[in-house]
Amino acid sequence: MAAAMALAAGTVLTGIVAGPASASAAADNERCQSADYPSVAFSHTVCVTFRGNGSGIPPNDVIRMNVRSSGGTGIGHWELFGPHGTVSNSLDGEWKDRTHDWAGYQDSSFGDRWCAVFWKNGGGGSGYYRATPPVCVTSYFP
C-alpha cells in the first residue's frame, strides 16, 4: 500500500514538473533570479515554482524552491526563506556546481519575496556568516 501511494505521489509530482507552463490557467509557473558575486568567486540562481490555481489569476502559493550554484562557495549551507521565515536549509558542504531543492507547500500572497542566501562556515568554531545578500523572486501582482 505504501509503495503504491509513493508511486502515485511520484506520478503526480512528475506530472506537475513535466507539464507545459502554458497548457492552461492552472499551470504551475517557475520564476528565477540570478546573481554573481566576484568577491566570493561564485554565482547562484534561485528558482521558485508557484502553484497554478485554475482561476486565471497568476499563481502565488509556493510548491518548490531551489538554488543552483556555480563556482566554489567554500564550506557552508544555503538557506531558502520566504515571508513566514526559513523554508529549508541545505546540508553543510562545498556547493560547487550543485543544487539544493525543497518541495512542499507554502502559502503566499501577491508581492511576497522568496529568497536564498549562502551562510559560509567561518572555521575554527567561529560560526557562520552571511556570504551573499539574499537573491529573491517576487510572487505575482494582480
DSSP state of 2: H
What pLDDT was estimated at residue 39? Answer: 65
- Biggest alpha carbon–alpha carbon distance for the chain: 53
pLDDT above 50 for 139 = yes
> If residue 18 lies in a helix (H) or strand (E), which one and from where to where?
helix 2-18
**Mean pLDDT of the 125-133 span:** 90
**Mean pLDDT of the 101-111 span:** 90
Residue of 49 and 10 predicted with greater confidence: 49
pLDDT above 70 for 7 = no
Nearest Cα neighbor of 42 from 10, 72, 78, 8 is 72
**Mean pLDDT of the 28-38 span:** 85
Q: Are 100 and 84 in contact (CB under 8 A)?
A: no
Residue of 52 and 137 predicted with greater confidence: 137
What pLDDT was estimated at residue 42? Answer: 77
- Please, what are the domains in the chain? 27-138 (2.60.40)
What pLDDT was estimated at residue 13? Answer: 22
- At 51-101, the pLDDT tens digits run 876 666 667 889 999 999 887 778 899 999 999 999 999 988 887 888 899
- At 8-30, the pLDDT tens digits run 333 222 222 333 444 444 578 88
Predicted confidence band at 132 (pLDDT cuts at 50, 70, 90)? confident
Nearest Cα neighbor of 132 from 47, 66, 64, 38 is 38
What pLDDT was estimated at residue 22? Answer: 44
